[in-house]
Structure 1
Amino acid sequence: MTSARTASARSATTADGSPVVLVRDLKVAYGDTPVLDGVDLDLAAGETVALLGASGSGKSTLMKALTGFAPITGGTAHVAGHDVPNLARGELRHLRADVGQVFQQFNLVPRLSVLTNVLTGALHAAGPINLVGGFRSEHRRLAMHYLDRVGIAHKATDQARTLSGGQQQRVAIARALMQQPRVILADEPVASLDPRLADEVLELLRGIARDDGIPVLVSLHVLPLALTHSDRIVGLRNGQVLVTGRTTALRREDLSVLYDDAEEAGDDSDD
């Protein structure tokens, strides 16, 4: 097993020395049932961190805790300048506006156009004009910019339901970018895609992190994808961090402790 102390020689910090996300000794419990137990996590501008673990390891709960959707019962979580455990209910909206989210099921409105789906990412900033279905021209220009950024501007007028799964996930990423987020959380974003499309979507997310300076935390359960498309890996099992380090310093054997068998890890290779 490889720990943070042995696999990673440098901490994840931004240019001014502070991480965009800083989590220490985070605990989440539902009643008497602990789900996360003492999790530490850093996310720096420009990096992609893969969150690994089997089903039930706590990956989705950690994502929810970072946006105030899971009950933090101990520890600290600072996300994009927000002290998450101490936010008042009315302040959670500002936190969630700073966090772009990408989901496994895309969460698009099928009958709306691709462009309109992306524009919904600007609802927080656009204000009451959206109550009557309008968006300002600058929002439309920005939405087209992000559609071009993810390589799907030519589908802007198509209904979202007519797109392939990989195309729909690109729309969802453009929608997240429309928020002007300070961090992106992607919860199993390629679980429903075939391997080729999964590689394309993860490479797109990593390029956004690298080129736009937006850190990306992407939860996965497939080892080869994490090893190919991340800068660092954090591995959870039973709500605890068992493995963390630079991806280049980790081997498949180091990560096998997260799973009961190779099939569960999505790794059917012989090497």
Structure 2
Amino acid sequence: MRTPTAEVRQALPLVTVRGLKVAYDATTVLDGVDLDLFPGEMVALLGASGSGKSTLMRSLTGFAPVSAGSVRVAGHDVTNLARGELRTLRSEVGQVFQQFNLIPRLSVLTNVLTGALHGAGPINLAGGFSSAHRRRALELLDRVGIAHKASAPARSLSGGQQQRVAIARALMQRPAVILADEPVASLDPKLADSVLGLLREIATQDGIPVLVSLHVLPLALAHSDRIVGLRHGEMLVSGVTSQLDAAALEPLYDDEEHRDDDHH
């Protein structure tokens, strides 16, 4: 198993979070969280429902209120960005979601092309894509293994194929960082393995750090360079994956709460 962590740490982190606190009214969702993401590594974010994983993801793109601490992403100080600067930041962060977030009636190719417009304001789908954009979108579909589906409507694809389209769309943005929020939660184990393998390959080959939130410990242990674990909004685990095992991660899931941080 490759261990790039030592080498990638020669570079500067593309994401730096220090002492992050996020509170909604009287409810503290994150408290004192630190995180670095370095070029070329895949970091798994673990925790039970309500641990604050999604809130941490949202704080990196300015969608969650930072009550204290600092958040820097791709050179942006996220806590002090005006609206236009926030749009620029979000255009530099590729996002992959549990529900794929594709436009079902549009072709696979057009869904990928929309990535080129991310952060540029309202999407105009009427004939606005250059031949260079189309070429790149087809290259990315080839890279994720579904170029043969380019003209098919997105809704006709399987879940695993749709997630590959979503990854190609994120790459179309030429992102500095990729955030993948439970990207394999709705996939069977074999497909989950292949999608996470693809994300890790992208991290390695393109030097793009990938932060992926997961629920399943074996997947995190098999597909990440480092693991960060949250429990009740606090960091309980932070370490190199090869030095962790299921026993070290079990405390993250003790006393699993039913409160969910996904509704804010």
- Normalising by structure 1, we get a TM-score of 0.89
Ranges of 4+ aligned residues in structure 1 off by more than 3 Å? 9-14, 124-133
- Aligned partner of 2:151 in structure 1 is 157
Contact between 1:147 and 1:174, CA under 8 Å: does it hold in 2?
A: yes
Distance in structure 2 (CA, Å) of the matches to 1:47 and 1:110 = 32
Secondary structure class of the residue paired with 1:72: coil
Determine if the alignment matches structure 1 residue 135 to structure 2 residue 124: no
Matching of residue 109 in structure 1 with residue 100 in structure 2: no
* Stretch of structure 1 that moved more, 126-135 or 29-38: 126-135
Q: How many residues align?
A: 253
Match of 2:36 in 1: 42
Residues of 2 paired with 1:222 and 1:122: CA distance?
A: 32
Distance 1:51 1:236 in 2: 8
Name the counterpart of 1:197: 191
The match for 1:13 is 9
CA-CA distance at 1:13 after TM superposition: 3.5
Change (3 A) 1:125 1:135: farther
Counterpart of 2:174, as a letter, is Q
Distance in structure 2 (CA, Å) of the matches to 1:248 and 1:177: 28
| CA deviation vs aligned residue, 1:90-135 (integer Å, no higher than 9, x gap) | 2110000000000000000000000000000001488899463320
In the TM superposition, 1:187-266 aligns within 5 A as 187-260=181-254
**Runs (5+) with no aligned partner, structure 1:** 1-8, 265-271
Q: Supply the distance in 2 between the matched residues of 1:257 and 1:12 (Cα, whole angstroms).
A: 29
Deviations 1:119-174 (A, max 9, x none): 00001488899463320110001101111111111100000000000000000000
Code of the aligned partner of 2:254: D
CA contact (8 A) 2:90 2:119 kept: no
- Give the SS at the match of 1:132: coil
Unpaired runs of 5+ in structure 2?
259-264
Paired residue secondary structure (1:41): strand
Q: Counterpart of 2:161 in 1: which secondary structure?
A: helix
Q: Distance in 2 between matches of 1:95 and 1:166?
A: 28
Q: Is the 8 A contact 2:91 2:120 kept in 1?
A: no
Distance in 1, matches of 2:106 and 2:66, equals 36
Which residue number corresponds to residue 71 of structure 1? 65
1:119 maps to 2:151: no
SS of 2:39's partner is coil
User: Over the residues paired in the alignment, what is the CA RMSD in angstroms?
Assistant: 2.1
SS in 2 for 1:244: strand
Counterpart of 1:167 (choices 161, 165, 181) is: 161
**Offset, 1:89:** 1.7
Provide Cα deviations, 1:13-65, integer angstroms capped at 9, x if missing partner. Answer: 363xx200000000101011100000000000000000000111000000000
Counterparts in 2 of 1:61 and 1:230: CA distance versus 1, 3 Å = same
Give the superposition deviation at 1:260.
2.1
Structure 1: how far apart are the matches of 2:10 and 2:49?
31
